[in-house]
Amino acid sequence: MFKKASLGVLILMLAVLAVAPVMGQGETLRIAFSVPGLSFPFFVHMERQIQDEAAKIGGIELIVLDGQDRTEKQIADLEQMIAEQVDGLIISPRTSDGLAPAVQEVIDAGIPVVTIDRNVAGETAQNTLAHVGADNVKGGEAQGELLLKMFPNGARIFNLQGTPGASPAIDRNQGLHNIVDPVADKYQIIFEQTANFNRADGLNVTENGLAAQDTPPDVIVAANDDMALGAIEALKARNLVGQVVVFGFDALPEALDSVRDGALTGSVEQFPGGQSRAALNIMVEYLLNGTAPAQHDNFLTPKMVTRDNFNEAERLSEVPAIEPGSMGRIVFIPKSTDVSYWLWVKAGVEERAALLGYSTDYQGVPREIDIAQQGDLVRNVAAAKPAGIVMAATDAEALVAPVEEAIASGVPVVMVDSGVNSDAPYATITTDNLGAAAEGARVLAELIGETGKVGNLGILAGSQTGSERDQGFLDEIAKYPNIEVLPTQFTGCDPSKALNAATDLLTANPDIVGFYSACGPNGLGIAQAVKALGLEGKVKIVTFDPNPEVTPLFEDGTISAMIAQNPFAMGLQGVDAIDALVKGYAIRQKNVAIPVVIITPENYNTPEIQALVTPPES
């Protein structure tokens, strides 16, 4: 078995393992570069990158060979290179088995060979100078892992495979199966067929698959972007874009544009430019200095590129730019402007809107108890006809009429964090408040040894979020018979009211051992009351929302645990939903519940937690 080296940098670290005849200094190196077909954008990009690297190195004549997607053409090209006695060959074989004998003939002729992206089969693979590529199995696994994350309850899957016999097709398919086969009871591949890495075949095969099913699949996994883009055309014909998730592979500029557009969910980035440049440097180092690479197989680790990490794509600069604001204006209306929590949602709205070409506006009422004023604000914003409204309702019932009126007037409304008692909003994206509150109850119970008296400070009785966080806590804490819960005190998330309420409860009940807080400002008020009475560490506090005002009180030990939501993700997904509506795409999931993370002293300093508690840039 060959050892594998990770390509963390573009140019590989080389070590002398063998000495070959060294070219004379100053001589021009004639290096052939053979790819399956320059009709594939992936290989066009590789060719441009290797040409650029050759120009930077200097003294290289690069002979580009287009296999025209025919094995026999690629074989004929290699025979010609033997006749011309080129100094070296860098090749991505169309098929692993079909090109192996021809590649061996090149090696037997004394010409060093580096395979790139795709390897050759059998013993010939051991005789090449090196192989440089992405780990295609890992890429297929990345598709499978995102599939499981997006569909935690299971999914029906179409699998569009690549050209039969091509090593990327084999490996990518294996990677996907590595993930879904162990959970095949929930994740069923209901249609699996080759589409030959070809867009037209991707379209036709998907059409055939859709026609054979009573209901469409949940997700289509394609082994390259061309097949994925063909599948999207088939979905468009049936108005299924957005309803069916599509994964590609290669992160081509056109595919990246489709990811930004929302038709393609994600594509696997395998850094083809990095592969090309590394392969050429290996070859040149060997020809000039007789130095072979320390490791024969050198693999980059692929990753999925979605809207969430769009700027990490290698070919981002080739994606057509969108004029800022050209898609219209999205207005974000928080519950109130006096709580820093909403700045995370605002940051998510602004980041995603900028990517998709929307301008944004931030308008809100001063306090969460300003319910009537928020209704008036929604009506005024809707009258200006923005592209859409992303908002959090101060009151689940009182905001029904303004929200429904806005939607009836043609303005899409998506709720985040706190919804309304209506099916009218196109989507509602919240924390799993019931589950989060139950988790908070379990943490508090453990902290107080499952016995004692606890206080409960809620949000507002009419708030959907407040009701869920109160009920979730009460239902779970009731499972502990030795814990007594005092009646809920609703504060409207006003820290001064929370301070007064906590002080009154502690004065009237000096035996209180813990508090549950349904929002960050409540946690702040409780902690201030506890500190004022010198009860730090004696009275345990579990609170929602690690706001900047709250975290210092966690760091000094006054607050025992924090329940971290992901308001930034709410902002991102809120804009995604508005964008889908603007483009006429389906919204796959109307009600989204984002899980929480419990922050404790043990995990507080991890990168994942710090990303949740670090305030967004204003």
Digit-coded pLDDT (tens) for 525-535: 999 999 999 99
Q: What average pLDDT does this structure show over 54-58?
A: 96
Clarify whether residues 196 and 93 are in a common domain: no
Is residue 191 situated within a structural domain? yes
- Describe the chain by its helix, strand, coil percentages, rounded to 5: 45, 20, 35
Clarify whether residues 264 and 277 are in a common domain: no
For residue 577, pLDDT beyond 90: yes
Clarify whether residues 115 and 143 are in a common domain: no
What is the percent of the chain with per-residue pLDDT over 90, rounded to a whole number? 89
Q: What average pLDDT does this structure show over 232-252?
A: 97
Each residue's pLDDT tens digit, 365-410: 999 999 999 999 999 999 999 999 999 999 999 999 999 999 999 9
Domain boundary among 548, 564, 580: 564
For residue 172, pLDDT beyond 90: yes
Is residue 608 situated within a structural domain? no
Q: What average pLDDT does this structure show over 589-603?
A: 94
The residues near 461 (Cβ < 8 Å, ≥ 6 apart) are 467, 490
pLDDT at 12: 38
Domain of 176? 136-270
Domain boundary among 231, 249, 270: 270
Each residue's pLDDT tens digit, 114-144: 999 889 999 999 999 999 988 999 999 999 9
Place of tokens 């508005």: 578
- Residue 289, judged by CB atoms within 10 A of its CB (0-12, 13-18, 19+), counts as middle
Question: Residue 336: how many CB atoms within 10 A of its CB?
Answer: 22
Torsion of CA 412, 418, 424, 427, to 10 degrees: 60
The single-letter code of the amino acid at 277 is R
Give yes or no for a contact between 287 and 112, defined as CB atoms under 8 angstroms apart. yes
Question: Residue 274: how many CB atoms within 10 A of its CB?
Answer: 18
What is the DSSP secondary structure assignment for residue 183, as one 8-state letter?
A: G
Is residue 458 situated within a structural domain? yes
pLDDT at 25: 59
Is residue 581 situated within a structural domain? no
Clarify whether residues 146 and 127 are in a common domain: no
pLDDT at 4: 43
pLDDT at 252: 93
pLDDT at 301: 85
Clarify whether residues 140 and 190 are in a common domain: yes
pLDDT at 22: 57
Q: What average pLDDT does this structure show over 488-499?
A: 95
pTM given for the model: 0.80
- Sort residue 196 into left (φ over 0), alpha (ψ -120 to 50) or beta: left
Q: How confident is the model at residue 6 (pLDDT cuts 50, 70, 90)?
A: very low
- CATH classification of the domain holding 481: 3.40.50.2300
Clarify whether residues 159 and 100 are in a common domain: no
Clarify whether residues 450 and 519 are in a common domain: yes
Clarify whether residues 62 and 179 are in a common domain: no
Tell me the three state secondary structure of residue 138.
helix
Q: What average pLDDT does this structure show over 278-290?
A: 96
Q: What average pLDDT does this structure show over 198-223?
A: 97
Clarify whether residues 258 and 294 are in a common domain: no
pLDDT at 597: 95
pLDDT at 1: 34
Is residue 63 situated within a structural domain? yes
pLDDT at 24: 57
Taking the C-alpha atoms of residue 451 and residue 449, their distance in angstroms, rounded to an integer, is 5
pLDDT at 463: 81
Beta pairing partners, 431: 594
Clarify whether residues 172 and 46 are in a common domain: no
Least confident of 14-23, 206-215, 363-372: 14-23
H-helix segments, 85-219: 96-108, 124-127, 136-150, 167-180, 199-211
Q: How confident is the model at residue 16 (pLDDT cuts 50, 70, 90)?
A: very low
Is residue 514 situated within a structural domain? yes
Is residue 174 situated within a structural domain? yes
Is residue 65 situated within a structural domain? yes
The single-letter code of the amino acid at 116 is I
Clarify whether residues 437 and 539 are in a common domain: yes
Beta pairing partners, 133: 299
- Helices 71-84 and 96-108 cross at an angle (nearest 10°) of 10
β-strands 303-305, 266-269 pairing? antiparallel
Q: How confident is the model at residue 14 (pLDDT cuts 50, 70, 90)?
A: very low
Clarify whether residues 158 and 116 are in a common domain: no
Q: What average pLDDT does this structure show over 37-61?
A: 94
pLDDT at 10: 37
CA neighbor of 94 nearest in space, from 47, 163, 25, 44: 163
Give yes or no for a contact between 220 and 158, defined as CB atoms under 8 angstroms apart. yes
H-helix segments, 315-451: 341-356, 371-383, 400-408, 433-447
Each residue's pLDDT tens digit, 25-38: 578 999 999 999 99
For residue 11, pLDDT beyond 50: no
Beta pairing partners, 35: 66
For residue 346, pLDDT beyond 60: yes
For residue 518, pLDDT beyond 50: yes
Give the total number of structural domains in the chain: 3
pLDDT at 618: 60
- Sort residue 243 into left (φ over 0), alpha (ψ -120 to 50) or beta: alpha
